[in-house]
Structure 1
């Protein structure tokens, strides 16, 4: 019985690996800049493939969406550093510049963006112009489940953002931040 279970598990892993390699080839052919092998499990990149760059040894889990809008720029709108893991159902939405550093861990069902719409009283919500500001996550950042990171935010290296937080302002290096809006409660260097 154990041999059959191990065999089925091995077969499943092999199938997932082959599917991921096929997705790598497909997205590369569409213009996504994949620097080496990236583990891709049923991700969604609906358009603007040339605006995305992902370094090697990243893993994007099932249901991750990478969405770039607007005219192409001279730099990637979404850049993901090497060895970063993005968990299930996370949505990354960029119009200008959204950079995720190396060795980051992003929990499930997060939303990270570099833009929102204006607030002109004379225009309906969807007619508002986009307001964009670069968003950046440093290296080794850990983002808990269901976190929202809004435009113009920089999260410093080695910072942690607790589950369910909404990040509206910069978070310094080594900080642990939680809440709505997220506030620093302590630093990782403190015992």
Structure 2
């Protein structure tokens, strides 16, 4: 193709409104570093969300029962260590993070918005920065028919009995018995259910 043919071809392409709009956007992006940085950040954020979504976790072999209902912006990490039962519900901004020990979630478990189920902590030895210490992982077991309220945090090594309700903003740092309503920091039994 000669140079003149290339120019004619390009001119013909530029007459296409969609291609012209795309060309203008790319030109603006090149001239405006703030737009370029914002677009790049949005692309990276979208990639992060995808690589921690339920759909991606299922592709990677995470075990999930029938009929899960997971809202957008729920993060799963450590897929191979997470096992979830039937009729699971997770509201937006919740996180389930396993490191090297299982997190087992029973049937009919509901997570309110912003719940964090964290399967590991950093070490706390005094002679080494915490960031350099290995993570200490412990199993978490959540029974059937458990409702965990908005913003609650479940720490490593706890068992939550079936039928338990955990109040919003509670910190679960020790085992909780079945069929109880628990709340507080640390979460304690308020009454039987």
Give the structure-2-normalised TM-score. Answer: 0.68
Q: Is 1:79 the counterpart of 2:75 in the alignment? A: no
Question: How has the CA–CA distance of structure 1 residues 51 and 127 changed in structure 2, closer, same or farther, with 3 Å as cutoff?
Answer: farther
From 98, 101, 106, the counterpart of 1:101: 106
1:66 equivalent in structure 2: 76
- The ranges of structure 1 where at least 4 consecutive aligned residues each deviate by more than 3 angstroms after the TM superposition are 46-51
Give the root-mean-square deviation of aligned CA atoms: 1.9
From 53, 68, 71, the counterpart of 2:63: 53
User: More helix per residue: 1 or 2?
Assistant: 2
Give the structure-1-normalised TM-score. Answer: 0.69
Unaligned runs of 5+ in 2: 1-48
Unaligned runs of 5+ in 1: 1-41, 70-75
Deviations 1:12-33 (Å, cap 9, x if unpaired)? xxxxxxxxxxxxxxxxxxxxxx
CA contact (8 A) 1:44 1:63 kept: no
Offset, 1:134: 0.4
From 171, 177, 185, the counterpart of 2:176: 171
Question: How has the CA–CA distance of structure 1 residues 89 and 81 changed in structure 2, closer, same or farther, with 3 Å as cutoff?
Answer: same
Offset, 1:44: 4.9
Bigger radius of gyration, 1 or 2? 2
Q: Work out the number of aligned pairs and report it.
A: 141
